[in-house]
Structure 1
Amino acid sequence: MGVRIRQAGADDRDAVARLLDEAFFDDPVSGWVFPEPEHRRAVHGKFLGVFVDVALDEGRIDLLEDGTAAALWLSVPAGAPTEEDDTPALMRETADPDNERAELVGRLTGEAHPHDRAHEYLLMIAVTSERQGEGIGAALIGSVLERCDREGVPAYLEASSARSRRLYERLGFAFTGKPVELPDGPLMYPMWREPQGRP
């Protein structure tokens, strides 16, 4: 599928946050973090805006030219982090200070994140509802996965539902075997992709 992709910049920040807000509003994890739909409507975009800021500052955001899909990537070096990640606390502080789940989801996924090898981390990918099912997501992340294959670099993500897990499996990702268990909530599926097409 031919799609025109550009790298997002600071001017795209709010548009990408709105895209994530729409795409993940009914996601099982978002529903767990913010169970009340009216409250979720008020704070969900702020919550996901933190991910946009991190990707703009420390990684990259690939954006379809028409703004209907975006993929947020971070390059993660090998070795355990030397400093505590303050992103989970920032997620809670920015969006919903009284809601410990807004921080807990980041802490639990952070604990599950592997650090023994350098890898590309697909932090989030979003496609507008009217474009879902067209293969846009696969096309959007395909260029990074092709580079991973060329350079022998693994990739990693957390699938937030069994449905998205199946979609990522088609792209060569495999469930690591131990889900992230959100207390009284849905499972998340850490997934690892070895570089492909190499002897």
Structure 2
Amino acid sequence: MGARTRRADARDRDLVVSVLEEAFHHDPVSGWVFPEEEHRRAVHGKFLGVFVDVALAEGRIDLLADGTAVALWLTVPAGVPEEEDPTPALMRRTADPGNERCELVGRLTGAVHPHDRAHEYLLMVGVSPGRQGEGIGAALIEEVLERCDREGVPAYLEASSARSRGLYERLGFTFLGRAVELPDGPSMWPMWREPAKG
């Protein structure tokens, strides 16, 4: 399935956050970070907005033409960063300062993120609930993976649910073997994809 997409910019920020909030509202990790439903509705968009701002500033956001799906990508260079990533602390400060889980999820995933090779990092992909199951998310991801294959670049992500892990496995990603175990919460699965040989 081909997906008509365009590159999102700052004018699309609120739309991108809205799509992600809907797509991830019932995600196991979002439920762990914000266990109370009413509170999650109040702060979840602020939390996800940090990811959107990072992708707008440092990466790319692919937006489905009808505004119902988004994919956030970052290009990660090889080598361990010299400075600590400020994003986890910013997630907590921006969304919910009293909630240490806002920061902890970023620190735990950051600790297992591979840095030995440059790669494309799928920060997140979200599809509006009414359009899920149509293959839209896979189509959005495949556009970047095709470029990765042409350029010989690997890709990386963390799956936040068993369902998403299955999708990523169908796209050629492989579980790295060490899950991120959120304390008293769900698992996340770091996954890597080698570029396909032409």
TM-score exceeds 0.5 = yes
1:197, CA displacement in angstroms?
A: 2.6
1:78, CA displacement in angstroms?
A: 0.2
C-alpha distance after superposition, 1:102-149 (max 9, x if no partner): 000000000010000000000000001111111101111111100000
1:26 is aligned to 2:60: no
1:181 is aligned to 2:181: yes
Which stretches of structure 1, 4 residues or longer, exceed 2 Å deviation after superposition?
A: none
Number of positions where the alignment pairs a residue of Structure 1 with one of Structure 2: 198
1:82 is aligned to 2:88: no
User: For the residues of structure 2 that align with 1:2 and 1:156, how far apart are their CA atoms?
Assistant: 22
Aligned to 1:108: 108
1:6 is aligned to 2:6: yes
User: For the residues of structure 2 that align with 1:71 and 1:197, how far apart are their CA atoms?
Assistant: 24
User: For the residues of structure 1 that align with 2:137 and 2:64, how far apart are their CA atoms?
Assistant: 10
The secondary structure found in structure 1 opposite 2:70 is strand
Aligned to 2:99: 99
Aligned to 1:163: 163
Q: Which amino acid aligns with 1:12?
A: D
The secondary structure found in structure 1 opposite 2:121 is strand
User: CA-atom RMSD, angstroms?
Assistant: 0.6
Question: Equivalent pairs: percent with the same residue?
Answer: 79
Q: Which amino acid aligns with 1:113?
A: H
Aligned to 2:145: 145
Q: Which amino acid aligns with 1:161?
A: S
Aligned to 2:126: 126
Q: Which amino acid aligns with 2:27?
A: D
1:16 is aligned to 2:16: yes
Gap runs ≥5 in structure 1: none
TM-score normalised according to structure 1 size: 0.98
Aligned to 1:135: 135
Aligned to 2:67: 67
Aligned to 1:55: 55
